[in-house]
Amino acid sequence: MGEVKLHGFWYSPFALRVKWSLKLKGIEYENIEEDRFNKTPELLQYNPVYKRIPVLVHAGKPISESMIIIEYIDQVWPQHPLLPSHPYDRALARFWVKYSDDLTEGVRALYRSKNVEDRKKVIEDIIWEHFRVVEDQCFGKENKFFGGESVNVVDLAFGSIIKYITVLEDIFEEQILEAQKFPRLYSWFNIFKSEPIMAEILPDQDHMGKMGEVRLHGFWYSPFTLRVVWTLKLKDIPYENIEEDRYNKSVKLLEYNPVHKKTPVLVHNEKPLCESMIIVEYIDQIWPHNPLLPSHPYNRALARFWVNYTEEMFSAGVKFFRSNTDEEREKSIENLWKHFMVVENQCFGDEKKIFGGEIINIVDIAFGSMFKFFEVAEDLIGAKVLQDEKFPQLCSWYNNFKNVPVIKENLPDHQKMVAFIKIIREKNLASS
Whether pLDDT at 17 is above 90: yes
Whether pLDDT at 35 is above 50: yes
**Span 20-42, mean pLDDT?**
89
Whether pLDDT at 158 is above 50: yes
Q: Which residues pair with 243 in a beta bridge?
A: 218
pLDDT score of 293: 93
Q: What is the percentage of the chain residues whose pLDDT exceeds 90?
A: 67
pLDDT score of 274: 96
Whether pLDDT at 354 is above 70: no
CA distance 126 to 188: 20
Whether pLDDT at 298 is above 70: yes
Q: What is the tens place of the pLDDT at every residue in 197-208?
A: 999 988 876 666
Structural domains of the chain ordered from first start: 4-76 (3.40.30.10), 87-209 (1.20.1050.10), 212-291 (3.40.30.10), 293-432 (1.20.1050.10)
Whether pLDDT at 289 is above 70: yes
* Backbone angles phi and psi of 113, in degrees to 5: -60, 140
**Span 102-116, mean pLDDT?**
86
CA distance 96 to 247: 53
pLDDT score of 286: 84
CA distance 301 to 293: 9
Is 78 exposed, middle or buried (CB count within 10 Å of its CB: 0-12, 13-18, 19+)? exposed
Task: Please calculate the CA angle 183-184-189 and round it to the nearest 5 degrees.
Answer: 100
Q: What is the CB neighbour count within 10 angstroms for residue 296?
A: 9
**Span 286-310, mean pLDDT?**
90
pLDDT score of 248: 93
What is the side-by-side strand order in the sheet with 61-64? 30-33, 4-8, 55-58, 61-64
Amino acid at residue number 231: T
Poorest-confidence range of 114-128, 137-151, 212-226, 314-328? 137-151
pLDDT score of 290: 84
**Span 365-392, mean pLDDT?**
92
Q: What is the tens place of the pLDDT at every residue in 112-151?
A: 776 788 889 999 999 999 999 999 888 766 666 787 788 9
